[in-house]
Amino acid sequence: MSRPVVIIGGWLSSPTDYLGMANVLASFPYGRVVYVTDINRWTWASLRDPDFRVVMDIIARTVELALTETGAPKVDLIGHSAGGRLARAYLGDVPCQGVVYDGKRYVDHLTTLGTAHATTEIFVAQFGAFVQEAYPGAYYPQVAYCSVVGETVHGRRWGRPEEIVAFRSYELVCGNGSEIGDGVIPSRSAYLTGADNLILRGVRHAPYNASRSWYGAADIVAEWFDNSGAENQKQGISVDQELQLQS
């Protein structure tokens, strides 16, 4: 039986931002059943560091739904941007704001896309430090970790609009705006010790300004997605419990 895929979105994202990537993964040649966590922009905006239990609970519920509906013993997690940090915390067996998720029991692969594993961002400083200290690197040997990042846009204080935006974002993430990355996350911040670290040149961070060159575009998915968990299985997509599409 194929492992279902659970996609965890990034900061201030909406589930609909990931339906394109979900459709790619549900179609040939991947043929996976795909679930997108139902974390909307308002939920993201309401979070206060270090308490991310609301979204962590959604992740746990979505993984449980995926396992129940498919009968698979484990899932493959894909965390985009901040979603990758949440995924690492979900795997853990150390209490997170008093809750132990221990998701490693249910996860075979974790792929992070444009995730700043090392970050100086003020609004996630405490939570980010907790994840790095409690679960450094590819922490659980039974989980296959892959960290994917674009190396595409040089940050410049003065330059093209994309370069200026990148400079400000990189400066927020790592303290130095004159880096190279995916336009939002500097490449070096996405390095995760012990993981399969993959750099993709020409790849940008998000679908809203780079629909054909972001991590979830069809041609880009082919460069990073490990389909070793695929077998013949009915295809489908689900956004948590509220939105279900059959391909």
- Give the CATH number for residue 226: 3.40.50
Residue 92 located in a structural domain? yes
Residue 151 located in a structural domain? no
pTM (predicted TM-score): 0.92
Residue 206 located in a structural domain? yes
Ramachandran angles phi, psi of 235, nearest 5° = -85, 150
Residue 231 located in a structural domain? yes
| Structural domain boundaries, residue 98 | 5-145+193-245
Binned at pLDDT 50, 70 and 90, residue 234 comes out as very low
pLDDT digits over 32-49, tens only? 999 999 999 999 999 999
Residue 173 located in a structural domain? no
The number of folded domains in the chain is 1
Residue 30 located in a structural domain? yes
pLDDT digits over 124-160, tens only? 999 999 999 999 999 999 999 999 999 999 999 999 9
Residue 211 located in a structural domain? yes
How far is Cα 99 from Cα 138, in angstroms, rounded to an integer?
21
Write a three-state SS string for the chain.
Answer: CCCCEEEECCCCCCHHHHHHHHHHHHCCCCCCEEEECCCCHHHHHHCECCECHHHHHHHHHHHHHHHHHHCCCCEEEEEECHHHHHHHHHHCCCCECCECCCHHHHEEEEEEECCCCCCCCHHHHHHHHHHHHHCCCCCCCCCEEEEEEECCEECCCCCCHHHHHHHHHHHHHHCCCCCEECCCCEHHHHCCCCCEEEEECCCECCCCCCCCCECCCHHHHHHHCCCCCCCCCCCEEEECCCEEECC
